[in-house]
C-alpha cells in the first residue's frame, strides 16, 4: 500500500485552520481504515489510546506515535491514521493517562514534567503500549517502530537509548534532544534512530545536539540526523503558526519540511524492515 507524497498537504488541509492544540482536523473516512479507542494499564495510569489499522489482512508492522507536549490530541490521531493509510498499524499513545490533553503551554509543561520526572514510570508507560501492540493479532510483533513529535520525539529517543527490546527503529520530528543515560546502563542500543531536526528551532541551544550525539554514540546507536534548514519547532503541525501567535511561542508550520520529513520517515521504515536478501 503506497502513499503519494503530493497528497500530504490535502490530508492536512483540514488542520490548517486550527485555533488551538486540541482543535480537531478532518479524520480519515471509516471506509479507508479501521480505528478503535483502546484502554489498557500503562505503569500507574489508565491509558486511553487510539489504534488505527489498514483494512487489508495482517499481520501489519506497527508504529507507536508519541505526541507533542499537548498530549494525544486529534493531530496525533491524524498522524496515526496517515500511517494506517500507508499500510502500518499505528497507536497514538496516551502518555499522560485518562486521555488528558493540555489546552495551554503552562498545563502542557506540567503534564510533560510529570511524565519525565520519573524515568522508570515513563519507560513503563511506553513499554505497556509496545506490549499492547504485540498482543494484538493484527500486528507483526517482530516489526515495531516509534515516531514522536517535539517532546514525544525525546520520549522515543530515550527508549532507543534505554535499549528497549522489541523496538526496531525511532523517528523523532523536531525534538529537544533531552536524552539521559539509563540506570542500569546498557552496552549497545538496538533501535535505529532518525532525527528530523528543525535547524532554526530557538529552543535548541548551542552544544545540545553535540551532547546528544555523544550520548547516543556511547551505546553505538545507528543514528542519522537530517537537517531542515528553515524549519522551527512544530514544523510538521499545520496551524502551528496560529497556536504560536495565540500563546506567544515560537512554533511555526513549514509545509515543505513537513512533506520532506514524512517522506524521509517512509524511506527509513522501508529500509528498516527490508528483507536481508534485497
Contacts 24+ apart (CB under 8 A), 256-260: 257/196, 257/198, 257/228, 257/230, 257/231, 258/8, 258/12, 259/5, 259/8, 259/9, 260/228
**How does residue 136 score in pLDDT terms, banded at 50, 70 and 90?**
very high
Q: How confident is the model at residue 175 (pLDDT cuts 50, 70, 90)?
A: very high
Q: Which set of grid coordinates corresponds to residue 8?
A: 500530504
CA distance 159 to 190: 10
pTM above 0.95? no
Can you tell me the mean pLDDT for 107-130? 96
Who wins on pLDDT, 15 or 51? 51
What is the average pLDDT score of the chain?
90
pLDDT in tens, 60-79: 999 999 999 999 999 999 99
Candidates 3.90.1150.10, 3.20.20.70, 3.40.50.300, 3.40.50.1820; CATH matching 5-272: 3.40.50.1820
pLDDT at 181 over 60: yes
Average pLDDT value for residue range 25-53: 85
Residue 267 banded pLDDT, cuts 50, 70, 90: very high
Whole-angstrom distance, CA of residue 274 vs CA of residue 269: 8
Share of the chain above pLDDT 90, in %: 84
| pLDDT-based confidence at residue 187 (cuts at 50, 70, 90) | confident
Residues 206-232 pLDDT 10s: 999 999 999 999 999 999 999 999 999
Distance separating alpha carbons of residues 51 and 32, to the nearest angstrom: 14
d(CA 264, CA 262): 5
Average of pLDDT values for 162-175? 97
pLDDT per residue as tens digits for the range 5-36: 333 443 444 444 333 444 333 444 556 899 99
d(C-alpha 189, C-alpha 187), whole Å: 7
Residue 3 predicted with pLDDT over 60: no
CA distances to 91, 105, 158, 194, 241 from 269, rounded to whole Å, are: 16, 32, 19, 10, 29
pLDDT of residue 274: 87
pLDDT value of position 23: 37
- Going across the sheet that includes 60-66, the strands are 33-42, 45-54, 89-92, 60-66, 139-149, 169-173, 192-198, 223-228
Q: Is pLDDT above 80 for 179? A: yes
Give pLDDT, residue 52. Answer: 98
| pLDDT, tens only, 230-262 | 999 999 999 999 999 999 999 999 999 999 999
**Burial profile 155-187: b = 16 or more Cβ within 10 angstroms, e = fewer:** bbbbbbbbbbeebbbbbbbbbbbebeebeeeee
Amino acid at each position: 500500500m503506497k502513499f503519494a507524497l503530493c497528497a500530504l498537504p490535502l490530508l492536512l488541509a483540514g488542520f490548517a485552520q486550527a485555533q488551538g492544540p486540541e482543535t480537531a482536523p478532518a479524520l480519515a473516512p471509516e471506509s479507508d481504515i479501521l480505528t478503535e479507542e483502546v484502554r489498557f494499564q500503562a505503569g500507574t495510569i489508565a491509558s486511553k489510546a487510539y489504534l488505527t489499522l489498514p483494512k487489508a489482512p495482517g499481520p501489519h508492522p506497527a508504529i507507536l506515535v508519541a505526541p507533542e507536549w499537548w498530549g494525544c490530541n486529534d493531530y496525533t490521531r491524524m498522524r496515526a491514521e496517515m500511517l494506517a493509510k500507508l499500510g502500518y498499524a499505528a497507536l497514538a499513545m496516551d502518555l499522560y493517562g485518562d486521555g488528558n490533553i493540555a489546552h495551554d503551554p503552562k498545563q502542557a509543561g506540567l503534564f510533560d514534567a510529570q511524565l519525565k520526572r520519573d524515568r522508570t514510570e515513563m519507560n513503563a508507560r511506553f513499554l505497556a503500549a509496545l506490549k499492547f501492540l504485540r498482543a494484538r493479532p493484527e500486528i507483526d510483533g517482530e516489526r515495531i517502530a516509534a515516531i514522536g513529535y517535539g517532546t514525544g520525539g525525546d520520549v522515543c529517543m530515550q527508549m532507543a537509548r534505554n535499549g528497549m527490546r522489541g523496538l526496531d527503529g525511532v523517528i523523532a520530528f523536531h525534538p529537544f534532544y533531552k536524552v539521559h543515560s539509563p540506570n542500569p546502563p546498557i552496552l549497545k542500543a538496538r533501535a535505529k534512530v532518525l532525527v528530523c531536526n528543525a535547524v532554526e528551532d530557538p529552543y535548541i541551544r548551542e552544544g545540545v545536539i553535540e551532547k546528544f550525539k555523544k550520548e547516543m554514540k556511547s551505546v553505538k546507536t545507528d543514528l542519522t540526523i537530517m537537517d531542515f534548514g528553515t524549519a522551527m519547532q512544530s514544523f510538521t503541525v499545520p496551524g502551528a503558526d496560529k497556536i504560536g501567535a495565540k500563546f506567544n511561542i515560537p512554533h511555526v508550520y513549514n509545509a515543505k519540511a513537513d512533506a520532506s520529513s514524512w517522506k524521509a520517515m517512509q524511506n527509513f521504515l522501508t529500509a528498516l524492515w527490508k528483507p536481508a536478501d534485497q
